[in-house]
């Protein structure tokens, strides 16, 4: 294992007083050459050196330029070059190197700026708050019509609205970190973390203290076929968590009446029909894979990672 510059952000040689970073960010990254600079720049651009967070990039099993680009983009970050291509192993390894709380775990293809993370970190210091994230935004540019229709409905459903912690970003308080300990081997780390905490222990942060938006951006699959493939894998992960790591805080199952929220929010009947059709296709693929005894595999969407940013 090799590392980059391990000097904590905000320190300088010979400094009499050490300024502690306001929070830490763990970024697991497996062959994320197209997006790792975009992810890091979103966090560090325009931030004074003394205010930078502690950043640990946990590159794992990379055969591209992820490590090199991460070190060039964020010289103050610690960049781990781990041999095993495993997101969970990478997250746990980075967690042992991190020294600051609150702590965020951020997928490399997600974008979240410093201000939104700082606003969420402040909430994570409030008594009783264990897990939190900024508000979720979907970047639907380049997505086909069926994918856009699907997400117009999806974003109104309980998974997103009931204090979402996940979908590529979650933050934990010191107490929250102590509770979860080591993340187990699972395809659904977001789901596992979210279900360790009750509704009252989770928060979504929509604004900072000055009233500016706090959010993170996810780029979803661009085609309906990719959406079905990836959502079927996520369903496997969710079942794995439910069976192997049961929790009283599992989210409730969506009900037909939840679709009224989509219609009230501006989605059309056509959007709802597309949403239900794609959900049915996901369920069919998931059941077919189980019937064939197909081993779960990590599935990623390379098209959504194409960027010129």
Q: Please name which of 275, 270, 298 lies closest in space to residue 87, comparing C-alpha atoms.
A: 298
| 38 inside domain | no
Range of the domain at 146: 101-300
| 58 inside domain | no
Share of the chain above pLDDT 70, in %: 87
Q: Please name which of 23, 250, 289, 266 lies closest in space to residue 159, comparing C-alpha atoms.
A: 250
Q: Supply the pLDDT for residue 16.
A: 42
189 has pLDDT over 70: yes
Answer with the residue of higher pLDDT: 289 or 103: 103
| 295 inside domain | yes
Which range in 31-45, 149-163, 242-256 is most confidently predicted, on average pLDDT?
31-45
Q: Supply the pLDDT for residue 88.
A: 95
Per the prediction, the chain carries an average pLDDT of 89
| 236 inside domain | yes
Answer with the residue of higher pLDDT: 79 or 303: 79
Q: Which residues of 39-59 are buried (b: 16+ CB within 10 A; e: fewer)?
A: bbebbbeebeeeebbbbbbbb
* Bridge-based pairing state of the strands 103-106 and 169-172: antiparallel
* Tally of structural domains, the chain: 1
Q: Supply the pLDDT for residue 255.
A: 77
Q: Supply the pLDDT for residue 238.
A: 87
Q: Supply the pLDDT for residue 1.
A: 38
| 137 inside domain | yes
| 195 inside domain | yes
| 273 inside domain | yes
Residue 162: pLDDT band (50, 70, 90) is confident
Mean pLDDT of 167-178: 96
197 has pLDDT over 90: yes
| 26 inside domain | no
Share of the chain above pLDDT 90, in %: 74
């Amino acid at each position: 294992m090799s590392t980059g510059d391990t000097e904590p952000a905000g320190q300088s040689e010979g400094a009499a007083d050490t300024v502690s970073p306001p929070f830490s960010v763990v970024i697991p990254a497996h062959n994320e050459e197209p997006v790792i600079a975009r992810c890091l720049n979103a966090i560090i651009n325009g931030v004074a050196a003394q205010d930078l967070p502690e950043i640990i990039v946990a590159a794992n099993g990379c055969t591209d330029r992820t490590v090199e680009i991460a070190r060039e983009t964020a010289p103050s970050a610690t960049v781990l070059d781990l041999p095993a291509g495993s997101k969970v192993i990478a997250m746990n390894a980075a967690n042992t190197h991190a020294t600051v709380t609150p702590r965020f775990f951020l997928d490399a293809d997600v974008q979240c700026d410093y201000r939104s993370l700082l606003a969420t970190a402040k909430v994570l210091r409030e008594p009783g708050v264990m897990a939190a994230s900024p508000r979720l935004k979907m970047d639907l540019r380049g997505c086909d019509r069926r994918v856009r229709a699907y997400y117009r409905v999806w974003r109104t459903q309980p998974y997103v609205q009931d204090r979402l912690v996940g979908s590529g970003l979650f933050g934990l308080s010191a107490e929250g970190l102590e509770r979860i300990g080591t993340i187990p081997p699972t395809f659904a780390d977001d789901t596992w973390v979210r279900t360790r905490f009750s509704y009252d222990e989770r928060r979504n942060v929509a604004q900072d203290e000055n009233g500016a938006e706090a959010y993170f951006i996810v780029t979803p699959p661009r085609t309906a076929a990719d959406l079905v493939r990836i959502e079927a894998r996520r369903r496997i992960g969710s079942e794995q968590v439910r069976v192997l790591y049961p929790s009283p805080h599992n989210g409730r199952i969506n009900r037909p009446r939840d679709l009224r929220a989509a219609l009230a929010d501006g989605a059309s009947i056509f959007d709802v029909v597309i949403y239900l059709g794609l959900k049915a296709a996901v369920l069919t693929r998931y059941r077919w894979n189980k019937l064939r005894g197909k081993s779960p595999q990590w599935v990623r969407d390379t098209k959504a990672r194409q960027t010129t940013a």
